[in-house]
Amino acid sequence: MRLFIASLFILLLSSCSMARTAEDAFKEGRYLESVELIAQYMEETGQSKLTGDDIIRFQTIIQGAMSHYENDLLAADRTDYARRIDDYKALLTMKNRIGSKFYSQQVYFFNNKYEVLQLRQLIAEEYYLYGKSLKPQTSKEYYQQASIYKSGLEQYKYKDIETLYNASNKKYMELAASEFYTLGQQFAKDGSYKEASEQFKKASDVYKPLGKYKDSQTLYVEYDRKYRTAEAKGFYQQAQALAKTARTHKQYREVADLYKQAIDIYKPYGQYLDATTLQKQYADKGIVKIFVESSYYTTLVRTKLVATYVKFVDSSAAADVIVKADATESYKQTPPRTSVNAMSENVVEKVMTLTNPDGSQYKQNVYKTYYFNQRITESQNQYTVKTTVRAYGAISYSNSNTVTRSSKQTEYKYEGDVPTNYRNSTSGELLTRSKLSNLALEEAKNTVYSDLNTIIQLVKEL
């Protein structure tokens, strides 16, 4: 066996780099991953393009993985059921992955040795023996045994595993129901009605496949109702106490919330006293009425101030708070301003070759003086939006902001006898009125948003 493993690694190390990832996984002990990767390689390469080396590499990986799990089964103690189950499951995973592909016959030594049903039966047998080895006493232990039998049954109906599963599961349900029921009785005796109801419900639920467990369902309802009644009473009394001192919209909403909690917790058993009526009364008293004056940002205000405690009204007389958000716009375009600069520049026109008295030659530049004008034209415009946001009545808030967006463009033109290295040019960009307007209005709207956020927080505290 040691010789085989050594030979296997030599083959793996000499394999083509195309399958390196699969081989790396194998060397790291990730055998199923190596099988998956080599199978992917075979499929991606395609039957017509596979080489002899590809087949050898594929066979090497499968043989190695199969040998690993078979050797582990031989080494595993007969009562190490979990380990044996994992090994058989790994072989089943391999069979499902490579058992019915175009390359399956290349690993006949594996596919002819194992069948899916055979492996499932072997797995079920291990679960069967595992379950029978247990000697459960408590509900938890019976649940474990039933789960083991169930796992085996999901693989294969081995011998009487279904009967054993049913028996263990039945015993689990009987013991668990008894345990939950006893706990419920203890909690009920201590006055812990919520915990008692939960335990009685667990007893009822776990035993349900077998029928009704004693009076667990009746006791669940009884103690659940007692718990919810006590909770609802507590919320109701808190609401009544707060209502005596409540003077603000916020406090009225807090009263309404307490009544709402009483309503919600008692809901399975109907209405709790007059909590529904009182909740509505105090919720209505908690509403802040807002009147939005017609202005530039009327729609924006109505959108931003939406809240569960806000109601918009149609007149200032009916309002707690009056809000107005307005804006004025102005556009200014400065007449173009032009300046002219007289310019001159000496430019080399040509290079002459001259002769010195001693006969030597030298080069001399011949210059031409250009006289021309630089005409600079500056154009500017700006768009200004001034916002004013005001809230008065139960609150007092006022704020103004001015937003200005501007643009500037400078044109450079050359006139007269202009050297060739000078070109007309433009710097900056003169934006259209529409574009400037959009930029300014968007920025102004953000300032209004900020004002309205402040207002809604003030309203919330009323």
Chunked into runs of 10 residues, the chain (462 residues) has average pLDDT values of 45 46 92 96 94 95 97 96 97 96 95 96 97 97 98 97 97 97 97 96 97 96 97 97 96 97 97 96 96 94 94 95 96 94 92 87 90 95 96 96 96 94 94 95 95 96 94
Contact call for residues 38 and 101 (beta carbons, < 8 A) = no
At residue 355, the pLDDT reads 86
Please provide residue 96's backbone torsions phi and psi, each rounded to the nearest 5 degrees.
Answer: -65, -30
Looking up tokens 């035993």 gives: 207
Describe the chain by its helix, strand, coil percentages, rounded to 5: 60, 20, 20
Closest-CA residue to 33 (of 70, 68, 72, 81): 68
Element (H, E) at 392: strand 361-393
Contact call for residues 381 and 330 (beta carbons, < 8 A) = no
DSSP 276-335: HHHHHHHHHHTPEEEEE-SSTTHHHHHHHT--TTEEE-S-GGG-SEEEEEEEEEEEEEEE
At residue 338, the pLDDT reads 95
Strand arrangement of the beta sheet that strand 288-292 belongs to:
310-312, 288-292, 321-355, 361-393, 397-416, 425-429
- Helices vs strands, H then E, count in the chain: 15, 6
At residue 226, the pLDDT reads 96
DSSP 206-250: HHGGG---TTHHHHHHHHHHHHHHHHHHHHHHHHHHHHHH--SHH
At residue 351, the pLDDT reads 87
Q: How far is CA 303 from CA 208, 293, 298, 309, 389, in A?
A: 52, 14, 9, 14, 15
Distance CA 252, CA 247 (A): 7
- Which amino acid, one-letter code, is at 384? T
Closest-CA residue to 420 (of 356, 365, 361, 370): 370
- Axis crossing angle, helix 2-13 with helix 52-75, rounded to the nearest 10: 150
Contact call for residues 420 and 359 (beta carbons, < 8 A) = no
Contact call for residues 43 and 101 (beta carbons, < 8 A) = yes
Task: Show the tokens assigned to 163.
Answer: 């009967």
At residue 59, the pLDDT reads 96
Element (H, E) at 42: helix 31-45
DSSP 87-137: HHHHHHHHHHHHTTSTTGGGGHHHHTT--HHHHHHHHHHHHHHHHHH----
The most distant pair of C-alpha atoms in the chain lies apart, rounded to whole Å, by 137
Q: How many CB atoms lie within 10 A of CB 415?
A: 11
Distance CA 59, CA 289 (A): 81
Separation of first and last alpha carbons in the chain: 85
- Which amino acid, one-letter code, is at 4? F
